[in-house]
Structure 1
Amino acid sequence: MRCLKQLALECNDDVIARVINDDFYVDDLITGHDDKSTLLKTCDQVSKILKSGCLPLRKWLFNSEISNSPFDSKELTLGDNCQTKTLGLGWFSASDELHFSTMFVQDATRNNNITKRTILSIISQIYDPLGLLSPSIIIAKITLQKLWLCKTGWDDPVPQNIILSWKNYINKLPHLQTLRIPRHVIGENTNVNELHIFTDASQDAYGACAYVRSYIDDPLLVRVPIKTCLLCAKSKVAPVTTVSVPRLELNGALLGARLYKQIIKSLRITFDKVCFWSDSTIVLGWLRMSPSLLKTYVQNRVVEINEITNDLPWYHVAGSHNPSDLLTRGIQFDDLQSSDLWWHGPTFLREPNLNWIHEGVPNVNYDELPELKPIKTAMIRTTYSL
């Protein structure tokens, strides 16, 4: 890794230097470009630079047909399940789809020997760096937290109610094998790309999910479909100590702001519009207030959110149209596979009319919001004597 950093440092081409610096994960190069000829030129230059440092690249794999090139793609396996792995995720290069190929070991579970150790073992087998499975994985995380609250030992039998819910959960795991997720989230030949981040919370969890909305902005074209796709998501189990729902909603908004920061840092595209969405009118009220009027817990988080998002707008979304609601209550793998709300976001994002942004925004009475600092009033009485 140190040699890679040095080769990037010595490279005179800023684009190639960035590819070497940012697109390597240990010894795997994962990069791309919309133009095939530009991509092949990048691969050639990166390959020459790394070869000069005795680090030859090999086993190239592309998601399109490459001919008459030293980077001809060669399949490494045979059959219908021909695939490779990208950072632990399965990748069907021909169809450019991601999938999860984990083969679960459930022998202990089949024998009804369900313990905290076996539950954690199965959860840890699911590798999901982008959070695409978060609505289903959060169910297992919440179950594990309940076992911690019960102070159950690693190999002690778990309560009967958890056994029933856990068996229902693992019975849905085979649906994970048939899940196919398109890797490319931006529409082809589009000229407008938007980022929409939804946040939500419940007593059990809070989270945020990001969607890319892409379309062609051309008044001469009519009925051009608008594409919306899930980009990534992040969820966390609520703290063990009791926290009010408004505070959890605020934590979800903060998670969404941090997710936005990571997306902007990682992607090389500039979004034409960025919008944040929450179904909590209290959180929206807090974000529109001066932080100095809020109590310390809320104040610190509002300040961080404002520092990250700056002047980017926050809008209200109905709970039934909020895809991050799935992150907080959880859904099973079979329902996740067919959830249009999760994979493509609310239907109003696919409407060409942007008036939906200003519709249904509730009025907020700032004086009635919780977590406000008490107003201190000093009264001075002066007595005059004759």
Structure 2
Amino acid sequence: MNVLCAEHENILGMCWLPKDDVWTSKAKLNFSSKRRGIHLEDDLKEEQLHLIPDNLTHRMVLSQVAGIYHHLGLISPNILSAKILMRSTCSKEIQNGWDEPMSEEMRVKWIQFFRGLYESQSITFKRCIMPENAEGDPILVIFSDGSQPTYSACAYIRCQTNKNTYESNIAIGKNRIAPTKQLSTPRLELCGAVLASRLVTELDFRFSKIVHIIDSMIVRAQIQ
């Protein structure tokens, strides 16, 4: 169910719902022509995805993807899907030109991506990641991984709320698409660990402990 309502604020590419004090994403698709930089028609709603042009071009999807901005990276999986699709689109079909209709197979994949954007609007994230009853300094837990064709990292803040109770909230996430030059999986996992280490500098908190979690003994050995 779409949680967007009339009372929301757009901040850093996300929607803030003050009533519940949560973040949620907002899908925005518009394939209509522009006049003086403004679309002539309203943005598409979720039930209007069938109105996506049959002659969908590479320039059209690039314009839609370029309009997605999310500083905190809470919907990184969706954005990563777009990066992978763009690379696949460019490597296979761009020889025909940016304004030539893409193949039906690729068009179906892009429609699935756009549908996923609307579905992600039902996911909410707490704006305040530090609960009011937190005791002491929190723990920062960072996960990282890498494989073909991407590597990524995300950070959670874990707070103790009483003697035996803890609360964890996601704080930030980052991902990168792997270079076109083929890299081994251990090398990509190491890139993910480097990305994880950089997340620490983006969080202005004092932590009692910072824990980096990886699932590769090879990367651990490389770091050591």
Q: TM-score range by the shorter chain?
A: 0.7 to 0.9
State the alpha-carbon separation in 2 of the partners of residues 172 and 262 from structure 1: 28
Whether 1:208 and 2:148 are equivalent positions in the alignment is no
In the alignment of these two chains, the number of paired residues is 201
Q: Matched residue of 1:226: which SS?
A: strand
Of 134, 137, 143 in structure 2, the residue corresponding to residue 198 of structure 1 is: 143
Return closer, same or farther for 1:170/1:199 CA change in 2, 3 Å cut-off: same
Partner of 2:120: 176
- For residues 345-356 of structure 1, what are the structure 2 equivalents within 5 Å? none
Identity of aligned residues (%): 31
- For residues 229-244 of structure 1, what are the structure 2 equivalents within 5 Å? 229-244=169-184
Q: Matched residue of 2:210: which SS?
A: strand
Larger RCO (CA within 8 A; separation ≥ 6): 2
Shift of 1:260: 1.5
Q: Matched residue of 2:165: which SS?
A: coil
Of 202, 213, 221 in structure 2, the residue corresponding to residue 277 of structure 1 is: 213
Report if aligned partners of 2:140, 2:210 keep a CA contact under 8 Å in 1. Answer: yes
Shift of 1:91: 1.5
- Superposed CA RMSD in Å reads 2.2
Return closer, same or farther for 1:159/1:256 CA change in 2, 3 Å cut-off: same
Q: Matched residue of 2:152: which SS?
A: strand
Whether 1:157 and 2:101 are equivalent positions in the alignment is yes
Partner of 2:45: none
**Per-residue Cα deviation, 1:303-362 (whole angstroms, up to 9, x for no partner):** xxxxxxxxxxxxxxxxxxxxxxxxxxxxxxxxxxxxxxxxxxxxxxxxxxxxxxxxxxxx
Structure 1 residue ranges without an equivalent (≥5)? 1-79, 289-386
Query: One-letter code of the match for 2:67?
Result: Q
Partner of 2:11: 86
> TM-score, normalised to structure 1's length?
0.49
Return closer, same or farther for 1:177/1:115 CA change in 2, 3 Å cut-off: same
Shift of 1:277: 0.8
Report if aligned partners of 1:102, 1:125 keep a CA contact under 8 Å in 2. Answer: no
Partner of 1:294: none
Report if aligned partners of 1:91, 1:97 keep a CA contact under 8 Å in 2. Answer: yes
Report if aligned partners of 1:104, 1:125 keep a CA contact under 8 Å in 2. Answer: no
Shift of 1:101: 3.3
State the alpha-carbon separation in 2 of the partners of residues 188 and 84 from structure 1: 23
State the alpha-carbon separation in 1 of the partners of residues 113 and 57 from structure 2: 15
Partner of 1:143: 85
Shift of 1:122: 1.8
Q: Which moved more, 1:243-252 or 1:95-104?
A: 95-104
Partner of 1:319: none
Structure 2 residue ranges without an equivalent (≥5)? 34-50
Return closer, same or farther for 1:176/1:145 CA change in 2, 3 Å cut-off: same
Report which of the two structures shows the higher radius of gyration computed on alpha carbons: 1
Shift of 1:228: 0.8
Q: Matched residue of 1:271: which SS?
A: coil
Shift of 1:102: 4.2
> TM-score, normalised to structure 2's length?
0.81
Larger helix share, 1 or 2 = 1
Query: One-letter code of the match for 1:211?
Result: Y
Partner of 2:40: none
Shift of 1:120: 1.3
Of 193, 196, 200 in structure 2, the residue corresponding to residue 253 of structure 1 is: 193
Q: Which moved more, 1:271-280 or 1:166-175?
A: 166-175
State the alpha-carbon separation in 1 of the partners of residues 64 and 195 from structure 2: 26
Partner of 1:128: 70
Shift of 1:107: 5.6
Report if aligned partners of 1:203, 1:245 keep a CA contact under 8 Å in 2. Answer: yes
Report if aligned partners of 1:197, 1:256 keep a CA contact under 8 Å in 2. Answer: yes
**Per-residue Cα deviation, 1:277-320 (whole angstroms, up to 9, x for no partner):** 111111011111xxxxxxxxxxxxxxxxxxxxxxxxxxxxxxxx
Query: One-letter code of the match for 1:184?
Result: C
State the alpha-carbon separation in 1 of the partners of residues 27 and 53 from structure 2: 21
Return closer, same or farther for 1:148/1:103 CA change in 2, 3 Å cut-off: closer
Q: Matched residue of 2:80: which SS?
A: helix
Query: One-letter code of the match for 1:279?
Result: D
Of 173, 176, 185 in structure 1, the residue corresponding to residue 129 of structure 2 is: 185
